[in-house]
Amino acid sequence: MIDFTLTDENRLVQQSARAFAEAEILPYIREWDANGEVHPEIFARMGELGFLGAPIPERYGGGGMDYISFALLCEELERADTAFRVVQSVHVGLNSLALLQWGTEEQRQRFLVPQAQGKKLATFALTEPGVGTDAANLASTVRREGDRYVLNGQKIWISLADLADHFLVFASVDRTKKHKGVTAFVLERGMKGLTTGTLHGKLGIRAGNTGLINMDNVEIPIENRIGEEGEGFLVAMSAIDQGRYTVAAGAVGLAQACLDASLKYAHERQTFGEEIGRHQLVKQMIANMAKGIEIGRLLVWRAGWLKNHGLRNTRQTSLAKWHATEHSVQAALDAIQIHGANGYSNEFPVERYLRNSKAAVIYEGTSQLHTLIQADYALGYREDRPLRCEPWPAQGFERLAI
């Protein structure tokens, strides 16, 4: 039986994350966003509080949180600003949980433990200048030379590119094999031939670092390969399942922020002698916001429940991500409409919410991709087969077929 009653631990995580956001993000985020300022010291503080190892088992330096707590953490961070949920997505969801699932014990001790402890910052590098959704067609190549690999290529739109210590990077050992040639590696900052740069001029998430990675004959010890040769696509897809979960949870938080701001303004602003909240069409926008948030939150929690029980959740996580991110865009549009001309100014937060919301309907699978995924499940073209791994809190030790 699915039970969505929050535990005392769930509520404590929610309260702690909200208190952190209210004290250390919200008072400053307007200025940070306006100036495009990234503040790594806030990420470090997140590590000190255990956020950067939230769902990682305690034996690997993590907090051992269940996936509902992890969702609540992501929701509260994005309720303040998307940039801080993004850190959870790439550092924890896309990198650390992939190492937990696919890494050897030596790799977990070497890379995962310091990441979970917040001592090292990590990211995930799959997207390339010419490759986004078509992840099996990577242009980055890697060749084996004895007990090492040599990697060449470029990655782009990589969150934390200029800040990360560890990079989970994907390249092809044989491009003719498409997805069966993709192989995963952990690169470490300081490796010869590895350079990074920051992208400027982003529409949103301006308080977060996004950049590119250049790899020019980077020599990688064989001990840094994650999984076997040709397993990289499976590593990437399983990691993206985790990343999508965090994005969905965060989008619920962004939509909640839109509703919070709209409710406040609807009570304060008066037209025709009464609060604008009394006007029926404003009520319609408020009601639709509230409805979409509740649906999104329930979809996220259903996926989280499946994760906690070690059950396959690709379909459910895709649906949660698709709905929640699309709804967050609409919630932001409606929030600006409710605010009228004031919504067009950064004196109010809703214009930032709109700019931030747009990224999430693109990364971790575009809305168009998730439309096709859900249609294929409904039509039977994609098999929604049952699949088990170890349930929380010992999740992540089975190498699962995708």
Structural tokens at position 370:
């998730």
**Mind giving me the DSSP string for 117-176?**
TTSS-EEEE--BTTBSS-TTS---EEEEETTEEEEEEEEEEEETTTT-SEEEEEEES-GG
Tokens of 268: 């304060």
Number of H helices, E strands in the chain: 13, 10
Strands 210-221 and 194-198: antiparallel
Q: Are 27 and 86 in contact (CB under 8 A)?
A: no
| HSE, side-chain direction, 13 A CA sphere, residue 10 | 14
Per-residue DSSP letter, 224? G
Catalytic-residue membership of 294: no
Catalytic residue among 24, 78, 351, 364: 364
Q: What share of the chain is helix, strand, coil (3-state, %, to 5)?
A: 55, 15, 30
DSSP tag of 64: -
Catalytic (active-site) positions: 364
